[in-house]
Structure 1
Amino acid sequence: MKQWYLFIAFFRVGMLGYGGGPSSIPLVHKEVVEKYKWMSDEEFGDVLALANTLPGPIATKMAGYIGYKVAGYAGLVNALLASIIPTIFLMILVLTSLSAYKDQPWVLGMTKAVVPVVAVMLAVLTWQFYKNGQKGLGWKVNLVLVIASLVIMEVLGLHPGILIAALLAWALFSPVKQKQKDKSAKEVAAAAERKMV
């Protein structure tokens, strides 16, 4: 039954995610976090950050990872197929029919209407992440991170992947972590000495 739910969840995302990866992110969030509760908001944020740093379409990367997390390798294949099959059929159907009507006003209006819809969906998802960040970090730290991110991406023009890689490297090799490792190693050695005595 889990495979069926996985297929339906990503099939809906594939059907409704018109406009590419950014438009499908809120849909994946709704299915994975809100409806089926396969992940928490924090886990979803981590998956989204990781998917943004890797090359390729974000929707398929997220589908593959979430499918694997939920149901192993079979879930990975299931979620990937469910997310790309609707796109393949819709592309064939829509491109063949829209090419005949591409200059019609209703087709031009339909394609222009996608941009604000995607913008609103991304704004809602961003607001949800901001609210979740306030719970863990507090509003001051959260606001500083938002401003720093905007400056780094918009003013300095750095890709978010570079920032995430730098933060991961800092977290892995920071002196604070090394001090904690040294402290815990000393505590273990002291505990072992006490047991010997």
Structure 2
Amino acid sequence: MMKHWHIFLAFFRVGMLGYGGGPSSIPLVHKEVVDRYKWMSEEEFGDVLALANTLPGPIATKMAGYIGYKVAGYAGLVNALLASIIPTIFLMILVLSSLSAYKDQAWVLGMTKAVVPVVAVMLAVLAWQFYKNGQKGLGWKVNLVLVAASLVIMEVLGLHPGILIAGLLAWALLSPVKKVEKNKTAEEVAAASERKMV
């Protein structure tokens, strides 16, 4: 029961504070899931984020649904989804009805414009954390090449990030490193069977 309460609290906080859409909620989900409750490692969160970016629909609900399911099954999935959308529904009704009366006021326009740099900083901090984690597994040279290639593919060529992720998955599956590890495993199995025979 406590696990469901924690799921609800985590995604309710994300829903309440994720002002500015899906991208602004990603660092909040990271804070709850990885730092506070430790339901996932940095690498697992990165994988979920990459997959959620390639699928259609709002990223916050996709991540909430998957993480809720991972932590507590189907009940966790429903709990996380409801917790992430209920605040948004109520805040939309409340804020839009009150702000519509003041939408031309300077303080309202300033408030909506001030969200953009805050979200940019939150995403930059999260991107830096992912970059540091990538260095552990890939080394700084490969990591830097992938960052540069990603920037060119998405910003210069204008391709969808899903194409980039599909290419990286294909590269990971077909890379010679994987084949060497498979051969090594086969050699270890053969050596182990020879030891059993002796």
When normalised by structure 1's length, the TM-score is 0.90
- Residue 166 of structure 2 corresponds to 165
**After superposition, where does 1:28-67 map in structure 2 within 5 Å?**
28-67=29-68
- Residue 153 of structure 2 corresponds to 152
* Cα distance change on mapping 1:194 and 1:29 into 2, 3 Å: closer
- Residue 124 of structure 1 corresponds to 125
How far residue 170 of structure 1 moved from its aligned partner, in angstroms, is 3.4
Which deviates the most, 123-132 or 81-90?
123-132
Which deviates the most, 148-157 or 71-80?
148-157
Q: How many residues align?
A: 197
Q: How many Å separate the matches in 2 of 1:105 and 1:90?
A: 21
How far residue 172 of structure 1 moved from its aligned partner, in angstroms, is 3.4
Q: Amino acid of the residue matched to residue 20 of structure 1?
A: G
How far residue 182 of structure 1 moved from its aligned partner, in angstroms, is 6.4
Any gaps of 5 or more consecutive residues in structure 2? none
* Cα distance change on mapping 1:92 and 1:124 into 2, 3 Å: same
How far residue 157 of structure 1 moved from its aligned partner, in angstroms, is 1.2
Question: Identity of paired residues, percent?
Answer: 90
* Cα distance change on mapping 1:178 and 1:139 into 2, 3 Å: closer
Q: How many Å separate the matches in 2 of 1:194 and 1:127?
A: 48
* Cα distance change on mapping 1:157 and 1:48 into 2, 3 Å: same
- Residue 83 of structure 1 corresponds to 84
RMSD: 2.0
Deviations for 1:100-132, whole angstroms, at most 9, x for unmatched residues? 110111111111111011011111111111112
Q: Amino acid of the residue matched to residue 96 of structure 1?
A: S
* Cα distance change on mapping 1:177 and 1:72 into 2, 3 Å: same
Tell me the secondary structure at the aligned position of residue 56 of structure 2: coil
Q: How many Å separate the matches in 2 of 1:36 and 1:187?
A: 38
Q: How many Å separate the matches in 1 of 2:6 and 2:91?
A: 22
How far residue 152 of structure 1 moved from its aligned partner, in angstroms, is 1.2
Which deviates the most, 185-194 or 74-83?
185-194
Q: Amino acid of the residue matched to residue 41 of structure 2?
A: S
Tell me the secondary structure at the aligned position of residue 100 of structure 1: helix
- Residue 98 of structure 1 corresponds to 99
Tell me the secondary structure at the aligned position of residue 104 of structure 2: coil
How far residue 27 of structure 1 moved from its aligned partner, in angstroms, is 0.3
Deviations for 1:75-121, whole angstroms, at most 9, x for unmatched residues? 00000000000000000111111111101111111111110110111
Q: How many Å separate the matches in 1 of 2:177 and 2:41?
A: 28
* Cα distance change on mapping 1:148 and 1:80 into 2, 3 Å: same
Deviations for 1:125-170, whole angstroms, at most 9, x for unmatched residues? 1111111222222222211111111111111111110011122233
Tell me the secondary structure at the aligned position of residue 143 of structure 1: helix
- Residue 5 of structure 2 corresponds to 4
Q: How many Å separate the matches in 2 of 1:178 and 1:133?
A: 21
Tell me the secondary structure at the aligned position of residue 39 of structure 2: coil
